[in-house]
Chain A
């Protein structure tokens, strides 16, 4: 009796999950694939089904002590091993350690003659033997639909597949079945009819010559799941999925302040600089010194011993380092020390989502305290304003969630309103530093102004912003009748000084 009760109780219990170990996917599925049930992963050729399925096995074997069986109907064990090696996993080693069994099932239609009734008992025997030989908890049936091509009687195959999936459930293994996307049905032979506890669609689309892989959980019986399309990436470290949902506005706010690296700018920001974990927007027309301001911030952070991640989309790391050393900021030692890392990629190299994914991954890996994105304007060409804003919102939420201070440089087109940030994201920013140029007396001079700084009593003054070979200097504008910048300021100062001196002389003379 008690055992029976226990059994019925287990049925009522919440659905147990089997973590895939794939970053992001476990988040979307709220913990992984349904434990002890089959999951269908389908998509067109080359969309990453096999890689996803094999990663599920690898993470299970390595991280959750759940050995796995891979039954491959299309690729031989050697081919699969070679393919997966490019993702940094050694299947041969896993097999040797009895964490994985690969069984390649190859059926040559030309060799086979059908003469009477049959069932797929051989497949059951092979699978059962493989599972029992290592105590497997996870099973992948890769491209099982090949059976339909190999065996002439589709009626038998269907009945047997139904029996197979029921049998896998009874065995309590978590199975992943991959299938090719079909016309009209989800998969070519309607596998979804048998495997319907969890269905995941992979997609690979090209928009404007930029390809993006996407993943969507179509169905998950007995569990909540994210239903959005999520971009994912396959690279030398396997698959990473980016949950599309924004993390929301739950982040903590600290009162800790970080220096901007320029004493006078700190002074303008209530004397202490930016808030840690805030997002800072630096806008200005071309050549106003946005990158220089960023370099100062980086230098200050590295001096505090904090790691910085610099996403550059216009200049190569070497070029940035060289250019900054010309204004007295030497970034090379920080790179050497491992405190500063550059990531220079042309924006049109990937789609927006891929950039976001890349940034997510690099940030999670490097764990910086400061992130620079220089400039964000370049991403604007990768999507509509809405897309870009949504991407940056998610990026900012992610950064804030980890208390990372981020500085975004944004290029203002000449001629457009100076307060207009290119991608309409100023509302997302906590602090906005505006760089502008004033033109008079045959000179262009730079001015710096703190347009907004949430939670900071900031200066309302415009400072003249000088970039010299010794670095950035902020100088008070000389205010007389009118505002003087550049040589006019020097002249005005000199004449004021002269006036003061002559006034003093006059006083002395009077005495």
Chain B
């Protein structure tokens, strides 16, 4: 575990945005999949949410007790806690289309 701080919070100063996105990314260690997932997430957020988002990365290897709260099964899992309702996207987020649908940033079809 090279990264000593399990929870990294990337906060972009909200510029009076109406609806900030609260996102939690659950990973289990620094696996290739979780590294890709975080990179993909940052890219998508920058492109589509601009600065209206906050990402919290939770490493379950270090805080396993947190898996229960958000009913985490698959790794990586992205949980959108805000705005409501809660949305979950599983996978390394390489399918941008599906991520946008999952985050309600684009309607399907």
A→B interface (CB under 8 Å) = 103, 105-107, 111-126, 128-129, 147, 150-151
* B74 contacts A119, C-beta separation under 8 Å: yes
Docked complex Cα distance between A66 and B87 (Å)? 38
Which B residues lie within 8 Å of A147 (CB)?
73
B76-96 residues with Cβ-Cβ distance < 8 A to A are 76-77, 85-96
> Whole-angstrom distance from the CB of A120 to the nearest CB of chain B?
6
- Kindly list chain B residues whose C-beta atoms are within 8 Å of the C-beta of A111: 85-88
B65 smallest CB distance to A (angstroms): 6
Nearest Cβ on chain A to B84's Cβ, whole angstroms: 12
Contact between A119 and B33, CB atoms less than 8 A apart? yes
B48 to chain A, nearest CB (A): 14
Structural contact, B65 and A129, CB atoms closer than 8 A: yes
Smallest beta-carbon distance A123→chain B, Å: 5
Interface residues in chain B, defined as those with a beta carbon under 8 Å from any beta carbon in chain A: 26, 28, 31, 33, 36-37, 40, 60-61, 64-65, 67-68, 71-77, 85-96, 98-99, 101-102
Q: Which residues of B contact A120 (CB under 8 A)?
A: 73-75
* A125-B28, A125-B64, A129-B64 known; A118-B92 Cβ under 8 A: yes
- Residue pairs across A and B with Cβ atoms less than 8 A apart, 22 shown, are A111-B85, A113-B88, A113-B101, A115-B90, A115-B92, A116-B36, A116-B94, A117-B33, A117-B92, A118-B77, A118-B92, A121-B28, A121-B60, A122-B26, A122-B28, A122-B67, A122-B73, A123-B74, A125-B75, A126-B72, A129-B65, A150-B73
Contact B90 A128 (CB under 8 A): no
Which listed residue, B31, B33, B36, B67, touches A129 by the CB 8 Å rule? B67
Residues on the B chain within 8 Å of A150, using CB: 73
A126 to B26: give the CA distance in the assembly, Å: 13
Query: Hey, which chain B residues are within 8 Å of A114, CB to CB?
Result: 89-91, 95, 98
Q: Which of chain A's residues have a CB closer than 8 A to the CB of B86?
A: 111
B75 touches A118 (CB 8 A): yes
Q: A105 contacts which of B73, B75, B95, B101 (Cβ < 8 Å)?
A: B73
List A contacts of B102 (CB < 8 A): 113, 115
**Known: A125-B61, A125-B64. Is A116-B92 also a contact (CB below 8 A)?**
yes
A122-B26, A122-B77 known; A113+B90 contact, CB < 8 A: yes
B95's contact among A115, A119, A151, by CB below 8 Å, is which? A115
Chain A residues whose CB sits within 8 angstroms of the CB of B33 once the complex forms: 117-119
- List 4 A-B pairs, minimum CB-CB distance, nearest first: A121-B75, A113-B102, A116-B91, A129-B64
